[in-house]
Amino acid sequence: PYHGFDMPETVHVYNTLAKKKEVFEPLKAGKVSLYSCGPTVYDYAHIGNFRSFLMADLLTRVLNYAGYKVEKVQNITDVGHLTNDDLADSSGEDKIGKKAKASGQSAQEVADFYAGKFIEDEAVLRIQEPDHRPKATEYIDEQIAMTAQLIKRGFAYEVDGSVYFRVEKFNQYGKLSGNTLENLNAGSRIDVNDDKETAHDFALWKKAEPQHLMQWDSPWGRGFPG
């Protein structure tokens, strides 16, 4: 909860872009908007998964204690996480759809069950509830609109109903992680997909086969977020 100081105390954070510790300065005085990537709800979360969520909780508590009013958003990925976790490979199927087929449940039932279990586990670990828990399936239209904008600006391209991000067009790729294109060996971990311009390009939208459980209409045909 908000600690209630009139003036926030000084907080230092490590800036990944600048590669150094800096004084934290929010965009709005006394207020912080914090986004934490949430779980992909196709199975139970294990303790390693919770490292990220515990760190976000710790950061939220520190900022609250320092006097900032924090508004925290943590999404639930209930579609769009492919079975092949290699970012450059977009050939896998959706993990939630795969689990649904194996269990005989609907994709929605699978997602709702594991989302509920995740929230229960958060409570056991005493992680504070976020202010908002948006689900990926609630923002399909927005994802389609963003993908269309990337195509319009030349950062993405469509091939046979699927849309891929053109990594080489984005000259700041890897600036945060240090994993630049020059350091990557194309095709060393995966077979190069002939649909893609380069092996590093990744799916923003995937064409859905008729049997695919989770799919929506888009300008590129029926599909799902990648």
Q: What is the DSSP letter of 80?
A: -
Q: What percent of the chain stands above pLDDT 70?
A: 85
The rounded distance, in Å, linking the Cα atoms of 63 and 12 is 10
pLDDT higher than 70, residue 51: yes
Decide: 33 and 56 in contact? Cβ < 8 Å.
no
pLDDT higher than 80, residue 185: no
pLDDT higher than 50, residue 202: yes
Q: Which two three-digit tokens encode residue 63?
A: 């900022």
Pure H helices in 87-139: 95-103, 107-124
Q: Determine if residue 163 is left, alpha or beta; phi over 0 gives left, psi from -120 to 50 gives alpha, anything else beta.
A: beta
Residue 142 DSSP SS3 = helix
pLDDT for the residue numbered 191: 58
Mean pLDDT of 110-126: 95
52-95 per-position pLDDT tens digit: 999 999 999 999 999 999 999 999 998 866 655 444 444 556 77
8-25 per-position pLDDT tens digit: 678 999 999 999 999 999
**Burial class (CB within 10 angstroms; exposed 0-12, middle 13-18, buried 19+) of 16:** exposed
Closest CA to 169 of 188, 189, 149, 197: 197
Instruction: Return the residue matching tokens 């927005």.
Output: 142
Q: Which two three-digit tokens encode residue 81?
A: 């996480």
Chain center to CA of 141: 16
Beta-strand (E) ranges in the chain?
12-15, 20-23, 31-36, 69-74, 156-159, 162-165, 202-207, 223-225
Average pLDDT taken over every residue of the chain: 87
Single-letter code of the amino acid located at 204: L
Residue 14 DSSP SS3 = strand
